[in-house]
Amino acid sequence: MALSSSSAIRHQSFSLFATTHSSLVPPASHRTAAAIVEAAPLRERRASSLINIPATLSSLLHLHLERKPDDRSVGLPPPAVGRNNPTVSPKEDISSLFPEIHGYADWSPLLNPLHPWLRREIIKYGEFAQATYDAFDFNPLSEFCGSCLYGRHRLLDKLGLARNGYRVSKNVYAMSHVELPRWLERSLHADAWCTESNWMGYVAVSDDAESRRIGCRDIVVAWRGTIAPTEWFEDVQGKLEPFGEAHADVKVEHGFLGVYTSKSDRTRYNKTSASEQVMEEIKRLVSHYRQRGEEVSLTITGHSLGGALALLNAYESASTIPDLPISVISFGGPRVGNVAFGEKLKEMNVKVLRVVVKQDMVPKMPGILFNEGLKRFEHVTGTLEWVYTHVGLELGLDVRSSPYLKHGLDVAGFHNLETYLHLVDGFLSSDKEFRGNARRDVALVNKASGMLRDELHIPPCWVQMANKGMECNAYGRWVKPAREPEDIPSPYREEAQL
């Protein structure tokens, strides 16, 4: 959002300069023909010397910002459903496609065109990732800043996701000894709940009805990411390091690995690392349901930094638990590791689907210049261990495909997870237009962005805390309400219960 604000300031400054400058120049009627002719080449030289910053940035990062001819003159399409219609379709039994969606079979036949069952599953996991933002306490004046707003037993219910048929079994906390883009939120309160750790996601498991519908007992890990993509430019250094002593040739970005593996005995929530917390819970759940004779799958999801942590989590899970179908569905995730990392994931049958918006810069990092594109030169260079590479299949989306979205430069809006989910909901295939019967509420796009066209009259960033979290008590005083006891984070309450 800072980029949009600074752009507005620059625009206003330019407008002021243009107005002032024009007032100092005599009107054309008061100038001689010779003066006008003499000024024309100067204007042309000035125009040719100006740099179009958005176009230049688009060209360097291949953001595909060019507009279709007269695209703003085209009216909005009529809504597919009225405001009194549900935003989700009735659930269907998809167990017949278990091998393709949650099992070992390849996703490729279902991607282009996108199978409606797979579309709904992608959105389901995307909403689980979005929950890590919606339930996160970003308020620096709160003593619980950096924690989850709700206790795990009612987390999904408070966010309207209980309909998906999952329950949270464990919260996951992370810290880092390595500086990364601003992912760690700290409270300014004197009695802060914690100063070293943040709530980083959760583990959930499908209930009996949902397990029958999809054909397996599904364990989900949802990782929280970062919201401000502009910080990736400055702070991601792109340093590769081995995943561990037993994986010397497998190298991953050291900042991502730091978030995943950091721990300290001095902390309350990270005496064990995020890796240890999540792996302990995954192994416990897999053992529990396999003892009951059930088919078990693991699906790991995340957005941005969360997409990177999802890949690290999948790698460790596949290395630790044999014969477990593991899938990763990431949104706007960056490159994580080298060629050996990707090849090992493929060797261990980890299915990876990267949902990527073409205009989003984060999936292009790290390794904007040195990436998987260099594979074509391997016959000359050999395998380059220090080159970053993407993993798995890509579902490519384009902001320009939606008639509801603005087409200008909005770096934060391109990276917004709700923008991703909107585009997935409307995607049919790479050669077809945005589907007219998409049901997901378009207004969600503007929860934390301003990507929707002005004609929709939906205000940008409309999710606001009422009265900035203050409420009037029985004595007429405005106070910050206390959290419900269950919603207060406690390391002793994090013990999982089935």
What are the beta bridge partners of residue 479? Answer: 471
Of 134, 415, 449, 487, catalytic: 415
DSSP symbol at 406: -
In 3D, which of 361, 307, 314 has the Cα closest to residue 336? 307
- For residues 212 and 209, give the distance between their C-alpha atoms in angstroms, rounded to a whole number: 5
In 3D, which of 348, 432, 446, 449 has the Cα closest to residue 398? 432
Q: What angle do CA 119, 446, 174 make, to 5 degrees?
A: 75
Is residue 197 within 8 Å of residue 270, measured between CB atoms? yes
Residues belonging to the chain: 498
Q: What angle do CA 93, 91, 208 make, to 5 degrees?
A: 65
Token code pair at residue 315: 């790698």
177 is catalytic: no
Is residue 489 within 8 Å of residue 202, measured between CB atoms? no
SS3 content of the chain, % helix, strand, coil (to 5): 40, 15, 45
Residues 6 or more apart whose Cβ sits within 8 Å of residue 21: none
Q: What Å distances lie between residue 282 and 148, 170, 204, 286, 374, CA to CA?
A: 20, 10, 10, 6, 36
Token code pair at residue 284: 């416990």
Of 218, 360, 410, 425, catalytic: 360
- For residues 283 and 299, give the distance between their C-alpha atoms in angstroms, rounded to a whole number: 14
Is residue 194 within 8 Å of residue 142, measured between CB atoms? no
Is residue 374 within 8 Å of residue 384, measured between CB atoms? yes
265 is catalytic: no
In 3D, which of 359, 344, 350, 348 has the Cα closest to residue 330? 350
Residue type, 298: L
Of 142, 176, 211, 304, catalytic: 304
70 is catalytic: no
In 3D, which of 179, 200, 354 has the Cα closest to residue 253? 179
Q: What angle do CA 391, 395, 396 make, to 5 degrees?
A: 110
Catalytic residues: 304, 360, 415
